[in-house]
Amino acid sequence: MILTVTLNTALDITYRTAALTPHATNRVAEVTERPGGKGINVARVLAALGHESVVTGFVGGRTGDALRELLAAEGPGGKAAHAAVSDSPVTDALVPIAGTTRRTIAVVDETTGDTTQLNEPGPTVTPAEWAAFLTSYEGLAARADAVALCGSLPPGVHVGAYAELVRLARAAGRPVLLDTSGEPLRRGIAARPDLVKPNADELAQLTGSREPLRATRDARRRGGRAVVASLGAAGLLAATPDGSWRAAPPMAVRGNPTGAGDSAVAGLLSGLVERLPWPERLARAVALSAATVLAPAAGEFDREAYADLLPRVAVTEQSSQPEQESHATRQHR
């Protein structure tokens, strides 16, 4: 079982409009809702890959009830209308809170294809709710093959929360992946997670460097045992104890990048528990990510595209030379 943690879950709502006109009244043509938040997206892709997954985090209020109901409908035999009905179960181990789960609204302009995103603030989590979560998390992590900590922190949760969760997973001897940003990433990486997956912006914010190889290796020095940076259309760049690799899709893909990073995380996690060598893990993550961009529905992946892309991902090992250069550079500062 793979455990994914989404502290700031969301009810993701998509509005399709003929065209979004600011400062006017816009008629919404179609409304769809689904359970959201990065860890929930990761679990959905893991389930589609045949991995049993458990989602935890916080959920509350009417939007929280809607999220749980939709999550239950997505599993095998579920009645979800969309294409995400999965091969394996996503088990709901979300912790109830008094606050109300946030909504996110993606307004898709059907004329331009552009999306305008409106994200509500998350509910405030009380100290008692955080304590209840920790108890539940320790029990779940102890029987997980891997743990993924994903996304932003809701109000009320301390900024070192991910560092705390990394330490608990490591104490239980479970591999742990961290995918967050800002100060929670800075503190979380210092707790020595097995894998961090920043995007280019998050990596630059963490390390101060826009040079991906240097920044990725810097992130390792900050505590990440392995660091896999997602570089958009350029694919992934990995710095690991076994070596460094670049993995790139065979061609640039056009579509909706929503959820592409979450699919990459699912690819890395599934490869980790299947004990695949790094190049295979990276190829899977890149193919899943590109197949997510190509899928018509945001955050889902196109299975045919995935099967087609997987053998065509180019994975190239990076020499250790730049590491030494980087080291030299630091010495000259």
Looking at the Cβ atoms of 116 and 135, the one nearer to a second copy is 116
By CB under 8 A, the residues from 105 to 124 that bind a second copy are 105, 107, 109, 112, 114-121
C-alpha span between 305 and 311 (Å, rounded): 11
Q: Is 262 a catalytic residue?
A: yes
Amino acid at 172: A
Minimum separation from the CB atom of position 230 to a second copy (A): 17
Give the torsion through C-alpha atoms of 241, 228, 214, 190, to 10 deg.
Answer: -70
Cα 288 to its chain centre, rounded Å, is 12
User: What is the spatial distance between Cα 5 and Cα 56, in angstroms, rounded to a whole number?
Assistant: 5
Query: At closest approach, how far in Å is the CB of 300 from a second copy?
Result: 20
Give the residue with the Cβ less far from a second copy, 17 or 205.
17
The residue assigned the tokens 């912006």 is 201
Query: Does the protein bind a second copy through residue 307 (CB under 8 A)?
Result: no
328 Cβ contact list (under 8 Å, min separation 6): none
C-alpha 137 chain-centroid distance: 18
CB atoms near residue 65 (< 10 Å): 15
CB nearer to a second copy: pick between 22 and 311: 22
The size of the interface with a second copy (CB under 8 A), counted in residues, is: 28
Q: How far is the CB of 49 from a second copy (least distance, A)?
A: 28
Q: Does the protein bind a second copy through residue 330 (CB under 8 A)?
A: no
Q: Please tell me whether residue 28 binds a second copy under the rule CB under 8 A.
A: yes
Q: How far is the CB of 66 from a second copy (least distance, A)?
A: 6
Instruction: Draw the binding track, 38-67, toward a second copy (x: CB under 8 A; -: no contact).
Output: ------------------------x--xx-
Q: At what angle do helices 61-74 and 38-48 cross, to 10 degrees?
A: 10
Out of 2, 3, 20, 266, the residue judged to bind a second copy by CB under 8 A = 20
Contact assessment for residue 184 and residue 164, using Cβ atoms and an 8 Å cutoff:
no
- Distance, CA of 248 to chain centre: 19
Contacting positions for a second copy (CB under 8 A): 15, 17, 20-29, 31, 62, 65-66, 105, 107, 109, 112, 114-121
Which amino acids are annotated catalytic? 262
